[in-house]
Structure 1
Amino acid sequence: MKHELPPQTITAHYLEQRLPQFKGNPLVEALPPPMTDESLLEALTLMPDYDPGQRQWSASERMMMIGTLQNFMVPMLKHTELCRALDSMLRTGYVGRAPKTPGHAAIFQSIYQKQMAGQTFAQTANSRTPQISTALIGLSGMGKTTTVQRWCAHLPKVIFHPEYNLYQIPVLHVEMPSDGSSIKGLAHGILQKIDELIPGANYYDMYAQRGRTGADTLMRGVARVMNLHLVGLLICDEVQNLANSKKGSQTVMTELVSAANDLKVPILFIGTNKAAKVLGTDFRQSRRSSGQGIAPWDRLLPGTASAPSEWDVFLEILWQFQWVRNPVALDPLLSRYMFDCSQGVIDLAIKLFAAAQARAILDGTETLTAELILDVYGEEFQLLHPMVAALRDDNLELLNQFDDIAPLNLQQHLEAAQRKLNLLKSPLFSVKASDETFAPRLSAGLQAMGVGEEEATSLAGEVASTNPDANLATGIKRAAAALSKPQPVKARGKAGKGKVVEVPVNKFDERPNDYRRAIAHAQANNVTVLRQLKDFGMAPRLEDVIDL
């Protein structure tokens, strides 16, 4: 049902009826009303544009559809709880900060006094972490940042208040510098982000580029700009990067939290389990007593047949999106293998499921099996094995050593599969020994490798007759294997007719393109023939020697 009232009236009516404590605050009234349960679930849900008829599409088209799984998301309880907490933090943080009010002016005055006194943003014995700030800590790949970004998407990036001639920034989302380069790197990131949002702004040049600005001076400039543009919620992502700070992560965190405390801006810190040490004991205790605490996001765990868990529901929904021609139902064995190889990490499970489908399309089996899932995990996700093993063993100490458990980008897996698919379509794999062009193409390839024309023709015919199922790729391998077998050479002259003698290694050096030169040197150097051919520059790619 559509509202006929203008948005401003709807918001004012909502505040008057349900949130009277925010009535009259222009910063809160400018925000859209909090989302209903239905609209929140709709905003967080993202499913591929799927139809069972797509299973009959070409392999390349199905590969493209599999790629749409990279943004797949099923909202769970933890996702909705996080969004509710963020909405509360945003609105509560605007209390007492309306423009042209004593509270707003007092913040500017506090920044100015610190500047005159040469003071830094540092906590004292009488100061504490703002009670409306919190941290979201947990395994990477569980959807923390994705959930925050989708919640932020329902808010306007910037709101202009003509009566005050001011731009309001409801949410400012920045990442901690990868090298944890003290508060200065974070200040630069904040200024650059604000420059992107505010039309005509040039705060980075104003505060960061003029002379050699110290960290304390720079942070005061950032605080002034954030207060000027009424930042409602500061989201600091990748907090674990502060562990790399040369200045000391606790010092950097203290400066940041103290500045936000003075500004009365709530902060959401997002990071992996490694970030827990960076946040410090004092912050964690304050967070627990604030009422805004968010429980750490751990992996999903399987339930039982009578009481399915969120993992079971998630996997059941994900399993519906099969683009293989022979889809299979999710049974206990497949479910067990999916959990064992992903350990309940959402992002890893999605990419394992997608990569398994790509493999099934590539090898022509066109179906998902437990063995296939295990093979894909073993071959394509090797970098993740130590991290998954740490999860499987509940080795938290080892797990904290890994900054990120997210697997390789799904697009990389699909692009590699697409390249293999294109290669399978090439004559190297499609031309069989029964094809009339097989022997001539193979002979031409052997000649390009330095084999004489007569011998190449004979060898190509032999491979074609003895290997009827061979293609050009396997044919060239069989021919190379036959050539690498040591052949006795009958000497002439003093050694006597028919007597076999050893041929010197350098016998063929005067013929640099003769493959027998590589064979002789390989035997003398105790290396493979292929290695010697590569060293001599005589091992081109198959695509270059076979007439495609």
Structure 2
Amino acid sequence: MHDTSHIVSAKYAQQMIPHFRGNPLIEALPPTMTDDALIDALTLMPEFDPSQRQWSTSNRFMMLKSMQNFMIPMQNHVELSWAMDSMMRAGYVGRAPRTPGHAKIFQSIYEKQLAGMGFSQTASSRTPQISTSLIGISGMGKTTTVNRWCAHLPKVIYHEEYNLYQIPYLHVEMPSDGSSIKGLAHGILQKIDELLPGADYYSQYALKGKAGADTIMRSVARLMNLHLVGLLICDEIQNLANATKGGQKVMTELVSASNDLKVPILFIGTNKASKVLGIDFRQSRRSSGHGVSPWDRLHPGTAGQESEWDAFLEILWQFQWTRKPVPLDPLLAYRMYDCSQGVIDVALKLFASAQVRAMLDGTEKVTPDLILDIYENEFKLIHPMMDALRRDDLEMLCQYDDIAPLNLQEYIENAHRKLNRLKSPLFSVRATDKTFTPRLAAGLTSLGFSAEESSEVAEAVAQADSSINLAQGVKQAVSALTSTPSAKRKRRTKVQEELAPDRFDDRQEDYRRAIAHARSRGVPILEQLQEFGMAPLLEEVIEI
């Protein structure tokens, strides 16, 4: 059953917006936001209070996860939002339902179908009439800004008087192979099906029969006109550069369809997309066609003049959940810029990851050395991209589809697991604890050593170093026991007796099968035994 909570009645929308009359499609849209309202809509920051620094480490980890959606509106973000609003409203001019303009578009699609024509390149195909492109450095918040702006629009508006559904925007990703017109058409069909109650266009047009790419695209065009799509957002446009052939054809189809349907298109992509769009990225950095400039990284300000990077970093620095917050000084600011090169996503994850490490190692303090260590060890995959940015090597940057330093949520979840391990007796119980020796001896006995030698070695390990924990003690004890010839012989004899033919039983057969299964899968034998429940975890063995 379709969820219809995202559908808004046009009558209700018009009551809320009494000032714009004439075109029911534009009337039904929310009013253009003021500057203050737009900034509020784009802003996204965690709920922070200094008292949270005293929370448990686990709870502070949870707060750090929220940093992945952190957003501070800047000039580029506002500029893009205004452009999308303008494009969508301009695209609806002359397309009101049951008007000559709307009918003319249907007629054009029908005539092309009769003539067996698709959307072909014309003199204006490479210059969409009311469309634009946004290219630039990955990790600067392009898609996030689009999503934040789109969130203020109803996904679907129902016009009762026309019995029609209006879709203000469609946000789709370009096919990953870069050359599939069908893949793009399928994505649009599926998106419309998700939005409209009872719609099953994907099955109707994509699965039935053997329709070619041109036929499916004509069907998509009819549906976009029927359901009054206001703005088509084509994300990951750089995927078209992956095509061995056909990438330009996809682009031509899109642009020609935009011109025919009067539906504006916003193309979003990384620097690599400039090749697909036929743009010289060096020149595009100095231009701002259609009100959208290419997005570059942020830069530090000069003496006496604060930049957007400086303002961003000052706001970001307030969100310290470590118990020993530090003020932002010139050295920290330099280190943050040097390791992130002004890329917002990298800076956010670098700052959050540094806090995670500080919490885990107990220092509870972000330092320049810690930031550098995180960059050197956790962000290795992006070093080539960061080096290209330092050199301002645009050709090299165009080779990279994305700058994705790490998955912050996954990183914090791994840190959470490490924190839980540190709380276990393996790490918390030291040699000075009265339970250390019996725990260690019990663990050694479960590993096959005799009770007598296990107790002797456990006692010796505890006396040798009072600062070690159980995990370290187990390593030392096993090393000592296995390096003793007599112990090797005792253990080998015991194992040989257990596996002797006259003592062979179902349990031994199960173990041998588990070992064979582990070898066939290429996984450690102990891991396979634990998966089958045939070997206890060390934490379970030493728990007394």
What TM-score bracket applies, with the shorter chain setting the length?
0.7 to 0.9
Q: Which residue of 2 aligns with 1:499?
A: none
Gapped runs of 5+ residues in structure 2? 1-11, 498-522
Tell me, yes or no, if the aligned pair for 1:182 and 1:247 is still in contact at 8 Å: no
1:131-142 superposed matches below 5 A: 131-142=129-140
State the Cα distance separating 1:355 from its structure 2 match: 1.1
* Secondary structure at 2:495 match in 1: coil
Which segment is superposed worse, 369-378 or 88-97? 369-378
State the Cα distance separating 1:55 from its structure 2 match: 0.9
State the Cα distance separating 1:507 from its structure 2 match: 10
CA distance in 2 between partners of 1:104 and 1:28 (Å): 14
1:386-397 superposed matches below 5 A: 386-397=384-395
Q: Which residue of 2 aligns with 1:512?
A: 495
The two structures, once aligned, show a CA RMSD in angstroms of: 2.9
State the Cα distance separating 1:281 from its structure 2 match: 4.8
The one-letter amino acid paired with 2:189 is L
CA distance in 1 between partners of 2:496 and 2:223 (Å): 71
Tell me, yes or no, if the aligned pair for 1:137 and 1:297 is still in contact at 8 Å: yes
The verdict on how the C-alpha distance between 1:93 and 1:221 changes in structure 2, with shifts beyond 3 A counting, is same
CA distance in 1 between partners of 2:303 and 2:453 (Å): 67
Q: Which residue of 1 aligns with 2:250?
A: 252
Instruction: Tell me which of 2, 5, 11 is aligned to 2:17.
Output: 11
Q: Are 1:32 and 2:30 an aligned pair?
A: yes
State the Cα distance separating 1:267 from its structure 2 match: 0.3
Q: Could you list the per-position Cα deviations for residues 18-42 of structure 1 after superposition, in whole angstroms to 9, with x for gaps in the alignment? A: xxxxx51111111111000010000
Q: Which residue of 2 aligns with 1:166?
A: 164
* Secondary structure at 1:354 match in 2: helix
CA distance in 2 between partners of 1:341 and 1:429 (Å): 33
Q: Are 1:94 and 2:101 an aligned pair?
A: no
The verdict on how the C-alpha distance between 1:541 and 1:83 changes in structure 2, with shifts beyond 3 A counting, is same
Q: Which residue of 2 aligns with 1:500?
A: none
Which segment is superposed worse, 33-42 or 331-340? 331-340
Q: Which residue of 1 aligns with 2:475?
A: 477
Tell me, yes or no, if the aligned pair for 2:175 and 2:184 is still in contact at 8 Å: yes
Q: Which residue of 2 aligns with 1:343?
A: 341
Q: Are 1:152 and 2:130 an aligned pair?
A: no
Tell me, yes or no, if the aligned pair for 2:156 and 2:166 is still in contact at 8 Å: yes
Q: Which residue of 1 aligns with 2:463?
A: 465
Tell me, yes or no, if the aligned pair for 1:449 and 1:545 is still in contact at 8 Å: no
Q: Which residue of 1 aligns with 2:375?
A: 377
CA distance in 2 between partners of 1:348 and 1:398 (Å): 18
* Secondary structure at 1:159 match in 2: strand
State the Cα distance separating 1:11 from its structure 2 match: 3.2
Which segment is superposed worse, 295-304 or 449-458? 449-458
CA distance in 2 between partners of 1:508 and 1:460 (Å): 17
Instruction: Tell me which of 319, 332, 336 is aligned to 2:317.
Output: 319
Which segment is superposed worse, 115-124 or 368-377? 368-377
The verdict on how the C-alpha distance between 1:301 and 1:335 changes in structure 2, with shifts beyond 3 A counting, is same
Q: Which residue of 2 aligns with 1:229?
A: 227
CA distance in 2 between partners of 1:48 and 1:351 (Å): 14
CA distance in 1 between partners of 2:186 and 2:301 (Å): 46
Tell me, yes or no, if the aligned pair for 2:205 and 2:216 is still in contact at 8 Å: yes
Q: Could you list the per-position Cα deviations for residues 164-222 of structure 1 after superposition, in whole angstroms to 9, with x for gaps in the alignment? A: 11111111111112222411001011011111112221211221111111000000000
Tell me, yes or no, if the aligned pair for 1:135 and 1:293 is still in contact at 8 Å: no
Tell me, yes or no, if the aligned pair for 2:125 and 2:255 is still in contact at 8 Å: no
Q: Are 1:177 and 2:175 an aligned pair?
A: yes
CA distance in 1 between partners of 2:285 and 2:120 (Å): 19
The verdict on how the C-alpha distance between 1:255 and 1:205 changes in structure 2, with shifts beyond 3 A counting, is same
State the Cα distance separating 1:403 from its structure 2 match: 1.2
Which segment is superposed worse, 380-389 or 409-418? 380-389
Name the TM-score, length of structure 2 as normaliser: 0.86
Tell me, yes or no, if the aligned pair for 1:250 and 1:280 is still in contact at 8 Å: no
CA distance in 1 between partners of 2:99 and 2:228 (Å): 13
State the Cα distance separating 1:310 from its structure 2 match: 0.6
* Secondary structure at 2:298 match in 1: coil
The verdict on how the C-alpha distance between 1:395 and 1:479 changes in structure 2, with shifts beyond 3 A counting, is farther
Q: Could you list the per-position Cα deviations for residues 83-106 of structure 1 after superposition, in whole angstroms to 9, with x for gaps in the alignment? A: 001111011111111111111111
Q: Which residue of 2 aligns with 1:451?
A: 449
State the Cα distance separating 1:282 from its structure 2 match: 11
Tell me, yes or no, if the aligned pair for 1:90 and 1:266 is still in contact at 8 Å: yes
The one-letter amino acid paired with 2:542 is I
1:51-62 superposed matches below 5 A: 51-62=49-60
Q: Which residue of 1 aligns with 2:4?
A: none
Task: State the identity as a percent.
Answer: 68
Tell me, yes or no, if the aligned pair for 2:179 and 2:247 is still in contact at 8 Å: no
Q: Which residue of 2 aligns with 1:411?
A: 409
Q: Which residue of 2 aligns with 1:121?
A: 119
CA distance in 1 between partners of 2:268 and 2:131 (Å): 11
CA distance in 2 between partners of 1:335 and 1:67 (Å): 22
Tell me, yes or no, if the aligned pair for 2:284 and 2:294 is still in contact at 8 Å: no
Q: Which residue of 2 aligns with 1:278?
A: 276
Tell me, yes or no, if the aligned pair for 2:122 and 2:256 is still in contact at 8 Å: no
The verdict on how the C-alpha distance between 1:329 and 1:508 changes in structure 2, with shifts beyond 3 A counting, is closer
CA distance in 1 between partners of 2:528 and 2:226 (Å): 69
* Secondary structure at 1:512 match in 2: helix
Q: How many residues matched?
A: 504
Instruction: Tell me which of 81, 84, 89 is aligned to 1:83.
Output: 81
Q: Which residue of 1 aligns with 2:307?
A: 309
CA distance in 2 between partners of 1:284 and 1:222 (Å): 35
Name the TM-score, length of structure 1 as normaliser: 0.86
Which segment is superposed worse, 238-247 or 280-289? 280-289
CA distance in 2 between partners of 1:262 and 1:31 (Å): 23
Gapped runs of 5+ residues in structure 1? 1-5, 16-22, 490-502, 515-530
The verdict on how the C-alpha distance between 1:283 and 1:190 changes in structure 2, with shifts beyond 3 A counting, is farther
Tell me, yes or no, if the aligned pair for 1:445 and 1:546 is still in contact at 8 Å: yes
Instruction: Tell me which of 79, 102, 105 is aligned to 1:104.
Output: 102
Tell me, yes or no, if the aligned pair for 2:230 and 2:264 is still in contact at 8 Å: yes
CA distance in 1 between partners of 2:420 and 2:385 (Å): 33
Q: Which residue of 1 aligns with 2:428?
A: 430
